[in-house]
Chains A and B, each alone.
Chain A
Amino acid sequence: MTPETIFYAVGMPLIGVFLGLVYKGIDRRVSARMTSRIGPPIRQPFWDVGKLLLKETVVPANAVKWIFNAMPVLALASSMTLLLYIPFGIIKAPLEGYGDLVVILYLLTLQALAMAIGGFASGSPFSSVGAQREMVLMMSYEMPFAIVITGFALIYKSFSLSTIASTPVWTIVGPLGGLGVFLLLIAFLWVTPAELAKLPFDIAEAETEIAEGMLAEYSGRNLALFYLSDAVRGFAMIAIEVVLFIPFTLSYLFGLNLSGPVLYIAEGLWFLFKVLLFYISAVTLVRTSFARFRIEQASRLFWVYVNIIALLGLLLIWVEVM
């Protein structure tokens, strides 16, 4: 155990939770402003978590108790681990040598899976319907997601996220490949709300249909853990997108010659700003301007249209690389 390991083990979850909740707060505020409301203060998600932690944790009588209680922990752990794989601008990812994009794909799935299993274990009909929907949705959006990752692997001849982050993708592809990457970006933007269970793909949690679905029976500490894992996952997912599609650093864009701590702080803030922009355009804007799809409509959308876009992008990249 080096001091570095201890710092990552303690520091990363704290930073991740803080950033995730801040972005969630900004998202709620911006969304409220877009619908001519005032909205809660940005610190509201922190109060929400605090209040949930104080509340009683109720376990339904016919639930499988240990699975029911373990799943929130698993969800939070998987999204925390996810953070360790993402390079923040020029700050290297702590676990960069130990995994790659495929691990990230699995970790993202694990969180959704934990929620679905928790839903099944709770024994409520609403949760069961919600968990079924989540499984169907997961089967639909994982395919375009995998295609996007394959496309990047084709370009870089590597699955490593730090290799991808070191050179912006747009500088090493030609016009044909550029179009391909653009199509991959469009496909990825469709996948984002589904992955984060936001409108129009919050089918598994649909409030008016199945009363929050998988989360219907969760309360108190368990619900707080799911809330935190959701916030962290939101930040992590957008950060991955920023690393993949707009990894331009300040020094690359403006040719700034910074050094020492100033460089790290400036680049870190620039990265957070990019994430904020992407978060608002990919999550907040979309969730304020769409109605919820039915599950079979969402499945068809991913299996037919998004898949075609992603495959077309992959094809263009393949043609150029060959």
Chain B
Amino acid sequence: MAKTTYYVPIGPIHPALKEPIRVEAEVEGEKIVKVDVKRGFAHRGIEYMGMKRNAIQTLYLSERICGICSISHPYAFVIGSEKALGIEAPHRAQYIRPIIAELERIHSHILWLGVIAHEIGFDSLLFWTWKGREKVLDVLELITGNRINYSMYMIGGVRRDLKESHIKALRDMITYYWEFTEHMKEVFLSDPVYKARTRGVAQVPKDMALKLNLVGPTARAAGLRMDIRQDIPFDAYADIDVKAVVPQDIVGEARGDAYDVTMVRIYEIEQSLDIIEYCIDNLPEGRILAIPNYIALLNKIKKTEGEGIGAYEAPRGEVIHYFRYDGTRDGPSVWKVVAPSYNNINSWGYCLLGAEVADIPVVVAYIDPCMCCNDRVAVVKDSTGKMLDYSYIHKRAIEKTRMLEKELGVRR
């Protein structure tokens, strides 16, 4: 009897996906024999919007690229901008920035741990981790005023200073999370069912991870020692000797599966706690902004001609922002964002081929995908393969509206 295959369409809307992307899988029983990943459902044209605004407005816009990395994009933005403008943030700001960034890494990693637990049907663990995550969100709210989208960074410094009460809250939080990560290691890394569901799933060997251009915890889990904070140190990270967390340092070998990613993320939370502790212990006194007057800053941008690249290790991997200021207006004339999910989604095709249907959510979630981060260009083609441009789509839209109006008998 010939084997029959099913066609299982996953997405653009699917319970395993929180954002739109399409995975077309051909399934033979439970095994996936053919897979195709299609992206481009969440294009928002955010770079185009950024190039029409001034640099400070664009900074806040960059925060809206991703809902969870809401400090990673502004961080890469300010680093890139400062390089292009040739200004340096004051010492105190250089120590406050990593604190906020590492707080965000903690909340992002705990969020991911809850998500992966949900994907394998372990909802109690999801509730438990997200309850633990509240503590870091509370601290972020105390320091910046917001739980998400903190509006904390400014070109040449930070907007808010750290007070004594903030430092006390940070120290409390650090004690809390040292205990919490111990529990998490127990629950995630020693649980036999979790192990059974993630060991060997989404496995990417080291050479394949290099070929697929993986970044962030996904690459580190495969054994690649790469971390922007270690390779291109900036701000306070240059004073702290940040080492990439790789599984071979923890358990002696790196297999690069979902279990190793979990391990890397839990140990990175501990690393973040160390970094925060170092920063608040060695917090220098002084100003927090290089150019406190925003009008002066915008004037300086208007006169500057230059380009810069800002790179930052976001919780998911490296974020890179490229800028060019051409000295004619007070915003970037070119702004290009590269988000980590764009590289990491490459691993899906490799991991899904030969996997089971039950592994799809784990494979999808293990890179912590962020669709709105990586949809940069939308190319629309008609059935003959001809590329459709803006004016054509606009014309078609008007025709469709007229047709609908006629059909419904509505006239304007």
Contacts and interface: CB of A to CB of B under 8 A. Distances in A.
Q: B interface, by DSSP: helix, strand, loop or mixed? A: helix
B122 interface: yes
Contacts of B124: 34-35, 288-289
A206 B128 contact: no
A12 interface: no
Given A36-B131, A209-B358, A210-B357, A291 B121 contact: yes
Interface string A124-141: 011011001100000000
A200 to B, nearest CB: 7
A296 B358 CA distance: 10
Interface string A173-205: 000000000000000000000000001101100
A208 interface: yes
Contact of B361 (A132, A208, A288, A296): A208
B193 A208 contact: no
A162 B102 CA distance: 65
Contacts of B118: 208
Given A125-B6, A203-B358, A291-B194, A209 B127 contact: no
Interface in B266-288: none
Interface string A272-316: 000000000000000011111111110000000000000000000
A211 interface: yes
B366 to A, nearest CB: 13
B117 interface: yes
A207 interface: yes
Interface in B80-124: 117-124
Contacts of A206: 121, 358
B239 interface: no
B120 A129 contact: no
Considering residues B9, B27, B122, B194, which has the most beta carbons from chain A within 10 angstroms of its beta carbon? B122
Nearest to B17: A208
A126 B13 CA distance: 13
Interface in A35-49: 35-37
B122 A290 contact: yes
B30 A207 contact: no
B14 interface: yes
B193 A293 contact: yes
A32 B358 CA distance: 26
Contacts of B361: 208-209
A208 B29 contact: no
Nearest to B9: A125
B210 interface: no
Considering residues A212, A293, A296, which has the most beta carbons from chain B within 10 angstroms of its beta carbon? A293
B338 interface: no
A200 B121 contact: yes
A128 B8 CA distance: 10
Considering residues B15, B16, B121, which has the most beta carbons from chain A within 10 angstroms of its beta carbon? B121
Nearest to B198: A291
Question: How big is the A interface, by class?
Answer: 20 to 34
Nearest to B201: A294
B326 interface: no
Considering residues A34, A203, A294, which has the most beta carbons from chain B within 10 angstroms of its beta carbon? A294
Nearest to A294: B358
A126 B8 contact: yes
B189 to A, nearest CB: 14
A202 B120 CA distance: 11
A132 B121 CA distance: 19
Given A209-B357, A291-B120, A129 B9 contact: no
Given A125-B8, A129-B6, A293 B15 contact: no
A289 B121 CA distance: 10
B19 interface: no
B123 A290 contact: no
Question: How big is the B interface, by class?
Answer: 20 to 34
B193 A290 contact: yes
Nearest to B365: A208
Nearest to B197: A291
B196 interface: yes
B127 A129 contact: no
Contacts of A133: 30
Nearest to A207: B15
A91 B35 CA distance: 58
A37 B127 contact: yes
B356 interface: yes
Given A36-B128, A288-B124, A208 B15 contact: yes
Interface in A143-188: none
B178 interface: no
Contact of A202 (B119, B121, B125): B121
Given A36-B128, A129-B6, A210-B357, A291 B16 contact: no
Contacts of B125: 291
Contacts of A126: 8
B41 interface: no
B193 A129 contact: no
B355 to A, nearest CB: 10
Nearest to A301: B196
Interface string B15-38: 110000000000101100000000
B176 interface: no
Contacts of B30: 129, 132-133, 295-296
A250 to B, nearest CB: 35
B360 interface: yes
A152 B14 CA distance: 46
Contact of A35 (B123, B193, B356): B123
Contacts of B360: 209
A203 to B, nearest CB: 7
Contacts of B127: 35-37
Interface of A: 34-37, 125-126, 128-129, 132-133, 199-200, 202-203, 206-212, 288-297
15 contacts: A35-B128, A37-B127, A125-B7, A125-B9, A129-B27, A199-B121, A200-B193, A208-B15, A208-B16, A209-B16, A211-B15, A292-B121, A294-B356, A295-B30, A295-B358
Given A129-B6, A206-B358, A208-B119, 5 more contacts: A199-B121, A291-B194, A294-B197, A295-B358, A296-B30
Closest 5 CB pairs of A and B: A292-B121, A291-B122, A35-B127, A208-B361, A294-B358
